[in-house]
Structure 1
Amino acid sequence: MQIIKRNGQVADFDPDKIYQAIIKAAQTVYVLDDTLRENLANVTKKVVLDLQEAQVERPTISMIQSCVENRLMNAGYINIAEHYISYRLQRDLERNGYGDNIIVHLRFEQLK
């Protein structure tokens, strides 16, 4: 599978990049142990399955990130999703020249 990067270039899909991004977000919230790493690897696998089932010839980075966000929240990793989304938004701001002016921090609350 190939993906379309933000700059429009086509690149090979690498699920490990998804896993590493999730791990980085998780490390800001938790001390990682083998069980959490395994659970997050399963989240990554589900994202890959979602992309395959969508049958999109070349998914975009935004589509992949949305899948990651949804899978993290569906798995109950709300705090990790917050940090993952905050980081992605902050990077988008930096790419567009606003990184020094705005700092992103999200806080989600589940409805009961």
Structure 2
Amino acid sequence: MEYPKAETNYFAIINDSQRKELTELIKKIDFRKIDSEYYENYLDGSAFQIIIRQGKFEKKVFVHSRKIPKELKSLSDWIIKIKQNLKLTRTDKNLQFKSKNGILPPPPPPSIEKIRFIKK
């Protein structure tokens, strides 16, 4: 029985040349200076989240915007390009990706004008 791709886990391995390219792209980004969120309120488009760990430093970057730093855009474009050409291999292992959990940011708090204060 074949399962739909969305319900099946796959993996792929990048080659040494791709790994070097990826490493160089990541080195060009100072994640300490990158915002944790780039968000524009529009309905079309894509969203993604990148989680980077460098030693004890970890940063999640959520993107749903057309206005992002060029280094982050280059990394995103590279991942999309490589992903399209990778040979996926099906696995029965239950894989869980941290980046799939909570990809959308929490809703903003209500505006102060809408909050009613009651005196006692």
Q: TM-score, normalised by structure 2?
A: 0.32
Larger relative strand fraction: 2
User: Greater RCO between the two (CA within 8 Å, min separation 6)?
Assistant: 2
Structure showing greater Rg: 2
